[in-house]
Amino acid sequence: MKELTPEEREVILEGGTEVPFSGVYVDNHEKGIYRCKQCGNALFTSDAKFDSGTGWPSFTDPAVAESVGTRPDPDGTRTEVYCKNCSGHLGHVFDDGPVDRSGKRYCINSICLDFEKN
């Protein structure tokens, strides 16, 4: 497991949310794979990324379904997305993604991700 900064811990371990449009990967258009910042688990590919206009990197599908889990958020109104390998908080999933793909929008905090360029 990677040692996290205080900001990374706040989001990944405590379920926080980074400020919209502040993350390093919001406007990343390079080809590659997004991995969990804490454990390196492969989470999402650049092929599944799309511009949702929300201020957070958004994806239609996980790279491997088994790498990402979902559970009801404590507030009862959203569905949390977490890394199945280390249980780190990643963001939330919504049913307002592109209908011609999965219909899902995995809204992920950049601070939870590392990017591996192809």
Res 30: pLDDT = 98
Res 25: pLDDT = 98
pLDDT tens string 68-108: 999 998 888 999 999 999 999 999 999 999 999 999 999 99
| Token pair of 116 as six digits | 């591996």
Alpha carbons 42 and 44: distance in angstroms, whole number: 6
Secondary structure (DSSP) of 96-110? -S-TTTTS-EEEE-G
pLDDT tens string 91-101: 999 999 999 99
Catalytic residue among 36, 83, 86, 107: 107
Alpha carbons 45 and 115: distance in angstroms, whole number: 9
pLDDT tens string 20-61: 999 999 999 999 999 999 999 999 999 999 999 999 999 999
Res 1: pLDDT = 85
Q: Among this protein's residues, is 107 annotated catalytic? A: yes
CATH class of the domain defined by 6-117: mainly beta
Boundaries of every domain in the chain: 6-117
- Report the run of H or E that residue 36 belongs to, with start and end: strand 32-36
This prediction has a pTM of 0.95
